[in-house]
Amino acid sequence: MRVLGIDPGLTRCGMGVVEGQVGRPLHLVDVNVIRTSADLPVAERLVTIEKGIDAWLDEYAPDAVAVERVFARSDVSTVMGTAQASGIAMVAAARRGLPVALHTPSEVKAAVSGSGRAGKAQVGAMVTRILRLDAPPRPADAADALALAITHIWRGGAQARIDAAVAAAGAARRTTPPTAPRTTPPARPARAEGPTRSSR
């Protein structure tokens, strides 16, 4: 399974591709960030992000895309930019018919480090260990993108197999021909007869 993890952001949009499956070592395919200048209009920055994501999707052909779920912060402008970049990522994936999963930051932290309150340094260290890298990916947005991809393989991949098994079982039930109805009532068991009376 190959997953593209996307840590959305207007200034830096983290991109990371990881390949593997549950119970086996995971492998880094590529990691980087898409950068845009704060001096440009937001619309132009979103176009740059869209083109960058499209290029990654075309080059690496992932099986699924994992995007960080946007959550409320005190800085409204940061939330808005993150949400806009997130929407671009989801549209780019949906346009290609790829499944898109949203994972919360705490879910990702818990998956890779065992604690939903882990800091960025701890997440980066665990990503480095899981993927057997020489050094933590920089900047942190890149490490977060890889953590998203890892989380989806470990959690989303397992869930996908469960869903597939349930769907296959349902399809098997629908294709099994129904039992033919009985046309004649079942024969009643014969009653035991009592002793005959002698005629008088």
Domain map (residue ranges) of the chain: 2-162
2-162 classified as CATH 3.30.420.10:
yes
Question: pLDDT of 36-77, one tens digit each?
Answer: 999 999 999 999 999 999 999 999 999 999 999 987 665 677
Mean pLDDT of 116-136: 94
Q: How confident is the model at residue 189 (pLDDT cuts 50, 70, 90)?
A: low
Quote the pTM value.
Answer: 0.78
Predicted local confidence at residue 78, as pLDDT:
79
Beta carbons within 8 Å of 142's beta carbon, 6+ residues apart: 7, 14, 15, 16, 31, 32, 33
Q: Average the pLDDT over each of 85-89, 113-117, 143-147 and give the range with the smallest value.
A: 113-117
Q: For 1-15, how does the pLDDT look when each residue is reduced to its tens digit (9 = 90+)?
A: 999 999 999 999 999
Which residues are within 8 A (CB) of 131 and not within 5 positions of it... i.e. 6 or more apart? Answer: 18, 26, 27, 28, 146, 150
- Which of 20, 165, 94 has the alpha carbon at shortest distance from 102? 94
Q: Is 30 annotated in some ligand binding site? A: no
pLDDT per residue over 73-114, tens digit each?
Answer: 656 777 898 999 999 999 999 999 999 999 999 999 999 999
Residue 197: predicted pLDDT? 47
Which residues are known catalytic residues? Answer: 7, 68, 141
DSSP letter at 155? I
User: How would residue 198 be classed by pLDDT, with cut points 50, 70 and 90?
Assistant: very low
141 known member of a binding site: yes
* Residue 7 assigned to a binding site: yes
